[in-house]
Chains A and B, each alone.
Chain A
Amino acid sequence: LAKTTQPISMDSYEGQEVNITCSHNNIATNDYITWYQQFPSQGPRFIIQGYKTKVTNEVASLFIPADRKSSTLSLPRVSLSDTAVYYCLVGETGGFKTIFGAGTRLFVKA
């Protein structure tokens, strides 16, 4: 399983776009990149998953450069309710062990 590195914390203001970058230098050919969101006292919630280029859903966008050694989760126009911990995971879909790192604590201010 590829090791990931994320910033420990980030601050933002309501209405801003937030970009959280994750480094995964030893990503393997079959690995996918997945992001989860976790609020205090709750289980993580799947946000988005991608393999290359760009993926967008109703919640976020995921940008993956050609070398796939990093990825960026983009949250458009954040609100106070986006304050949470965001986890980047890299592994083979079909692999059964999900490893969560320490994540990035995003704090959105009014």
Chain B
Amino acid sequence: QKEVEQNSGPLSVPEGAIASLNCTYSDRGSQSFFWYRQYSGKSPELIMSIYSNGDKEDGRFTAQLNKASQYVSLLIRDSQPSDSATYLCALSTGTASKLTFGTGTRLQVTL
């Protein structure tokens, strides 16, 4: 079992809809959780971090964390074509803030 699991997609949503991206993880000791966006040929860009159970909202983005069920999700409201990218779920466990990544979910926002 991989430490961080994501559906590779592509996840296709129409413009203006809500995109829901999910991630499950196996290490219950994980402390910090992150969502990165990566456009093709570019580097990962941090869009959300979440450290405690519940929801965290930032503009059109909402991250949700449920440590008991070991999942973290990202909701993108009013999806735009510019949101089309690969979204990477990452978590940090233990010392030195080393990140473990999922393989990413490719999101396509269609006109």
A binds B: no
